[in-house]
Each structure stands twice: as C-alpha cells, then as structure tokens.
A and B are shown apart, each in its own frame.
Chain A
C-alpha cells in the first residue's frame, strides 16, 4: 500500500512537476444537494469508497459528506457557508443551481477554499468544473436513434429536472441532433425528473394524445418508466434510449432475449464524484496548471457490451466507475492540451 502511495505520489510529481504540498492534513468536504434517486445514491457510494481509502492511506486528512434535506438553493448556500466556518480546505460540490450559489462559492474562494463542482456545476470563475459533455450526449442519442430507426419518424422527448443546466444541455444536444436528422420529429415532450415513476406517470398522461412514436430520447432514469407506460397502454414498444440504470439495462436484456430489441444507453457515471475529489486533492497538492473547466467523457453502453456490465450494477442502482488518482491525472492532462 505504502509503495503504491509512493508511486502515485511520484506519478503526481512527474506529471505536474510542481507538486509541492503534502495533502495528508487537508480536509475535503462534499456538499450534495439531493440524495433521492439511484444515480445520486451510486454517486455517494462511489465517493465514499474512494475517499475512505484515501483517508485510510493518509492521502487526505478527512473527507466528509454533507447532504441537504431538500433540493433548494438557499439551503445549499447556507451549507457551503457552514463548511467555510468548519475550516475545510476544499469543497467538492454537486450544486442545486449553476448561478444562484455563486455568492456562497465566492465567499468560499475568498476564504482560501478550493471549490470543485461536478454534475451540477457552478459558473463562479474561481471554482473548478468537472463537466460531462451532456450536449454531445443528447446529440449522440439522436445519432444512435438514426441507426435503429433509419426511416425516421416521431420522437417523444423526456426532459429532466426543469431549470437545471444538465436538462438544458441534453435538450440542446437533442435539438441539434434532430436538426441534423430531419427525418425525425419531436411530437411531444414531458418532464420525467430523471425518475422512473415520474416519467411513467408523465408518459402515460401524454400517450393518448400522441401519434405513433418510433423512439424516445431521454435523459436517463426515465427509460424504464417510459417502457412501462407504453406497455400499460398496449402501444407498440418504441426504441427507448436508456440511461445506464440497472432496471433499464435489465429490461433491455429481457427485450433483447425475446426478440433482439436494440437500443443504446448513456449517462454520466456517478463515480465522477470521485474524479472531482481527486481534482480537489491535486489542487490542494499545489498544482497550478489545472484548467478550471475539465471535460470528461460520459459512460455509454452499446448492444454488444451492456450485458457484461449488467451483473456488476447493484439492484436498483446505476452503472458507475470509480476513478483513481491516475485517472484524474490523465483527465487533467487531456484537458491541458
């Protein structure tokens, strides 16, 4: 273990050349605004696994997790302010709003605290952003759809939590994709809040008013619910893009075994929380060359590889990937160019 630590420290030194500080006494807090779905649970699990090991290996002094009781912005702003008072050296944050937390984030920066945001990122310039290319993901959904439905047709879109940057980016990507593929037309749009039950209700409500739909483009966490709504209404099963959730991939496998059903699945890996943790650690380590905007790839599964991933996902969970310090160094390097 010690050896590995020394090696990774060495790797960090070599990679940056400026790693000076010792982070073993540093405290990193995780400010999270919501824990109520499978994705967020997997995010917290991944973060817990990686940080517990980092603390045990004495890479950092402490890595505590704080979750607010509601999805509200003011609650999280207050939480960030409390973390400043607690004397943390860095705050990893999944923010409730890209802009409305900027006041609190700025206060943290002014107090000398490193802030790394991911998933729900913040626009305050002093913070770091670990960004998944959601727009590309939305575009890719339509690209993939074009492979499965070469003749084109009507699409139903399921949106995520209204007013969030993620929903906005994926939606923009989908619109771009549809513009590039005029054979598709979005005939309906519902809000699924990245939640199977909500999505199922929303789809079931709009279904009677829709013409025939060949495909569903969505944001993950809503595909299985949509499938249930179509099944309950006795409508033909469209091509539903999946979002790496266990129930979605399981349903996909059942359909594939039955009649060779084809689709595609993509989502941000919840373990990106662990990547944000390592970025914070690197900044505390004294690295000055890390770009404030780090673009990391999303996690996608195709017809060929999703079955191999399925057994590894917890019941009711979502496919994830725990990032290591080396992964973080590689991601930073890829963004410096």
Chain B
C-alpha cells in the first residue's frame, strides 16, 4: 500500500469543488444502486404474485432476511478492514445452538458464552493483525471450530428459543411489517456509527489507507480488534434473530450465510478492498438476495429440475447488474 494512494474518504477535502460534485454524484448513484435492484426484484414479485405485496406477505417474505442482514453487516465490518470472514455462517449456527440451549436454560451462562465468543472474534482480529496472517485462512479454520462447537452444544437438532426472543421476532407493529422496521433500524444505526462518527472514519480508513492511519498515530491493532469484535457482535445478533424465527436450532442452520453475507456486502455497493462499504446498502443487498433467492424463484414456477440452477442464475444476474452499472461510475 503506497502512501500516496489515499482513501476516498480522506482525500475528498483536498479536491476542487467541481471534482467533489462529480464524486458526490457518482456516490449517490452508487448508493441508489442497491435500492434499484431491490425495487426491481420487488416489482417482479408483485407482478408474479400480487398477494405477496401486503403486510402479511412482507412479514413472511422478509423475516428470514433479518438474520441475513445482520450477518451481512458483520461481514461488512470485516471487509471494511480489507479482510474476509469465512466463518460467519458457522458462527451464526453456533450462536443459534447456544441460544436454543444455554440462553434458555441458564441465561447467565448463555450470555457469558455469547460475550466470550465475541471476545474470541476480537482475539482473531488481533491474531490476524499481529502475525500478519491471511484472514481467509484463519477464518476458514475457525469455521470448522464453530461448526464443531455447535455440534457439541447441540448434537442433534432441537432446543428451543427463549420466550422473550420469540416474542420480539414475532412482534407485529402497526402499519409497517416488523422485518422492514428492523431492517431500517439496523441500517440506520450502523450507518450512523460507521459513516457519521469520527472513529467510524478511522475504522474505514484502516481498510482504505492503513499506512496513513499509522503515521497519524492510530493503532491499527485496535481498529482490527474493534472491527472483528463488531463482526462478532452482529454475528451473535444474527444467530439470535434466526433462532427467534425458526424457534429451534440445528448445528448446520447458518452454513449458507457465509457466502450470502459476502454477496450482500458486494451487492450493497461495497468493495473487497479499500474500506469502501455501505451499511444501508449492505442491508438492502441482504434483503434483495433473500427475496431474489427464494420468493422470486418460488413464484416463477420453474420446473424442479431447473430450480437449483435458476437460483444461481438469479444471483449472478443481480450481482452482474450491480457490476455493470457501477462501472459507469468510473
């Protein structure tokens, strides 16, 4: 990383106002992209099955998107620091198993385990930074550890979500379905924290230009620990939300979330390197993926032999559209 290669967020002030205007427009377009793809998928669903566009419909179609959105946010924190977390899926599964067993039967121990697991995430961040290890290798290894622990906690599917969690996840607010409220809340809270606070800028800067940050006297070790701890925190929230919906756990329950969360971040306008991420985009990306993968597919009435392939094709089309449009930005 050369020092003159500065992050967009840090060097924007140095540019002339005209350049800044163009950059702002590009950024606006980039910010609108995820919303546009979500609108497209929603329009397709409305056309295929008008019944789905209702309070009941949105509650059903989107409630499983909430844990995906939370896992996507977790992944987004890791990606902000130019790393990749391949263990988030099995971690969500592990949290789910703890939620359905310890958290219900012995809440104190359950909370301690979950806090401890966030601590493990923080330590992983430290390990990756201090030993300069590739995060892909470390987190791939951890994915097997989490999976193993999940099977230890819950050898066969079962357990039950705590009642308070069930109550939260089946909450029916007036007018706006719960999943939409929750998605808005998650997006706005993280947006404020990461995009609007000064430490949020430092966190993104650790991915954008670590060398400059280090020279300015910030601890890169600390930023990496914070980013990974935040990923752990949102992973825990994701696992708990998931169990609140499914009501009981399964050691393999979260395995698909690893790739979904990465795809969600990218679809939401994030980049693998450079600390360029968007929390609101990530949430919208997660919702789009959740809708495109399941409801759209179910409503399309594709012959069973082609359904699996069609699912993949939809994901590729959605992601390819994002790449095509965002290329114009440059």
Contact = CB atoms under 8 A, between A and B. Distances in A.
The finding on whether chains A and B are genuine partners in a shared complex, rather than unrelated, reads yes
Contact of B157 (A32, A35, A65, A99): A99
B256 A87 contact: no
B211 interface: no
B174 interface: no
Interface of A: 32, 35, 44, 48, 64-75, 77-79, 81-87, 96-104, 106-107, 162-165, 168
B251 interface: yes
B307 A67 contact: yes
Contacts of B308: 35, 67-69
B26 interface: no
A213 B256 CA distance: 38
A98 B156 CA distance: 9
B248 A99 contact: yes
Given A75-B293, A162-B151, A69 B312 contact: yes
Given A69-B312, A85-B60, A162-B151, A74 B307 contact: no
Contacts, number: 126
Interface in B218-250: 242, 245-250
B52 interface: yes
B246 A77 contact: yes
Contacts of B250: 73, 96-97, 99-100, 163
B299 interface: yes
Nearest to B253: A73
Contacts of B60: 81-82, 84-85, 107
B29 interface: no
Interface string B252-283: 11111100000000000000000000000000
B61 interface: yes
**What are the 7 tightest A-B residue pairs by CB atom distance, in nearest-first order?**
A99-B248, A69-B311, A82-B298, A78-B294, A72-B256, A100-B250, A97-B250
Given A69-B293, A72-B252, A85-B52, A163 B151 contact: yes
B301 interface: yes
Contacts of B299: 82, 86
B295 interface: yes
Contact of B256 (A74, A99, A103, A162): A74
Contacts of B67: 74
A265 to B, nearest CB: 26
B21 interface: no
Contact of B298 (A44, A77, A83, A101): A83
A107 B295 CA distance: 16
Contacts of B159: 99
Contact of B246 (A44, A84, A86, A102): A102
